[in-house]
Amino acid sequence: MGTDRRGLALSTDDPAAIAGIDTFVESFISYGVTAGAIFDAAKATPDQVLVNAKAAALHLFMQTGDAVANAAPFLARAEANLAQALPREKLWYELVRQWWADDIPAAIAAAEEIVRLFPADIAAMKLGQVHQFHLGDHPAMLRLAEAARAGCEDSPYFHGMLAFALEENNRLAEAEAAARHAIAMQRAEPWAHHAVAHVMEAQGRVREGASFMAEHSDTWAGCNSFMLTHNWWHLALFTMDSDDPERALRLFDEHVWGVWKEYSQDQVNAVSLLARLEFVGLHVGDRWQDVAQYLAGRLHEHVEPFLDLHYLLGLVRAGREASATELLGSMAEHARARTGKPGGDTWREVALPLGRGSLAYGDENWPEAFRQLGQGLPRCQEIGGSHAQRDLFHWLWLEAGYRAGAFDAIRPDLQARLAARPDVARHRRELARIA
């Protein structure tokens, strides 16, 4: 018997296993680059359930087409040794096994049970929140944070996670306070920086947001590619909303695209920023072609709707209509296969209309794009992603509506945006063009 760095009991006292677990947890909650230490621990201690479960989880977290196959041997070793595992370790195996089997509600239930019984397990809290976030269940993210508070309040990363959950529940003042508390505990807390960015973006505090993110950007160098590029993505959004899209494009070239082009989340950041830059009238050159070559191999993965929809839009904007059409057809097949299963309705009733709308947008069929996007938007939260990220599809709908001449339909939305973010001059210009 041993314990990890957070005082949680382990069924091993092997130093290699404990070091691998501790390094994985610390890297996972801080968006670091050393989570792969869990693979070394799995080689050194192949009979340890928790080590193998976390190694499988890291493979699944990569969101690649071969992630399920890569995770399978680790899960098999964990299953073979369950008799010697402690209750928390068995629950971790169950969490990851259900994730591997694509039963995300069951995986979330296992994460929630871990946190209920072992509130110091901050990695279970984080992974549970990730899955809740991908389902758009923001109230559950907040409940999970509150359940972990007693065991995790000593950690700045807990307060960063709490802050983001509060922001996604539109409790903006509380979110900013929690994030700033995390940063006071530890300045280099990138998820807390991210939460502050979300709050300021929602409130239209764009110049303040740009200053805040730039001020803390020196702490991101040690982050994994997602966190590094995503926080720079937020800074680029603030820069664009400050009427400096050319600088936002430079940030794309220097920080947002190019860290790990093969990674899904880096691709999402790239697609999202390029599309937004085009919305404000900037010509992005051949950058779509560079991004699209990394999307073309992902047509049949279907890890989650949020990813597929970004891949589809990137292919559309690069002029790769055949690949985009193939992806949309594969999404439809996947939706049919998931009939009656968790997430099936979201694929069929939300992702497919948004995908059809994106394809129609590429064809400049503005009325059809406006109609299809409008069909999916009311339930867009179900595809995953944050408010700020999903706003991309709302902007597609607005642009399609403008080009289709549906001024009366889009005017209330534009008015609401200006009221919420009066310092963003772009909103006034958008309203003026449909006057």
User: In this predicted structure, what is the pLDDT of residue 435?
Assistant: 87
Does pLDDT of 327 surpass 90?
yes
Provide mean pLDDT across the span 392-404: 98
pLDDT tens-digit map of 64-107: 889 999 999 999 999 999 999 999 999 999 999 999 999 999 99
DSSP string, 128-163: HHHHHHHTT-HHHHHHHHHHHHHHHTT-HHHHHHHH
Residues in contact with 416: Cβ distance below 8 Å, sequence separation at least 6, in sequence order: none
User: In this predicted structure, what is the pLDDT of residue 1?
Assistant: 87
User: In this predicted structure, what is the pLDDT of residue 385?
Assistant: 96
Q: CA quadruple 73, 76, 80, 82: dihedral positive or negative?
A: positive
User: In this predicted structure, what is the pLDDT of residue 284?
Assistant: 97
pLDDT tens-digit map of 330-380: 999 999 999 999 999 999 999 999 999 999 999 999 999 999 999 999 999
User: In this predicted structure, what is the pLDDT of residue 168?
Assistant: 97
Residues in contact with 409: Cβ distance below 8 Å, sequence separation at least 6, in sequence order: 370, 401
Provide mean pLDDT across the span 43-50: 98
Rounded to whole angstroms, the Cα distance separating 20 from 4 reads 10
Q: What is the DSSP letter of 21?
A: H
pLDDT tens-digit map of 259-301: 999 999 999 999 999 999 999 999 999 999 999 999 999 999 9
Q: What is the DSSP letter of 7?
A: S
3-state secondary structure of 46: coil
Q: Cβ of 404: how many Cβ atoms within 10 Å?
A: 17
Provide mean pLDDT across the span 54-69: 96
Provide mean pLDDT across the span 10-37: 98
Provide mean pLDDT across the span 43-57: 98
Provide mean pLDDT across the span 134-139: 96
Residues in contact with 210: Cβ distance below 8 Å, sequence separation at least 6, in sequence order: 235, 238, 239, 242
Token pair 């020196």 is at which residue? Answer: 218
Of 427, 420, 430, give the one whose Cα is nearest residue 204.
420
Phi-psi category of residue 243: left, alpha or beta, with phi > 0 → left and psi -120 to 50 → alpha: left
Does pLDDT of 181 surpass 90?
yes
User: In this predicted structure, what is the pLDDT of residue 289?
Assistant: 98
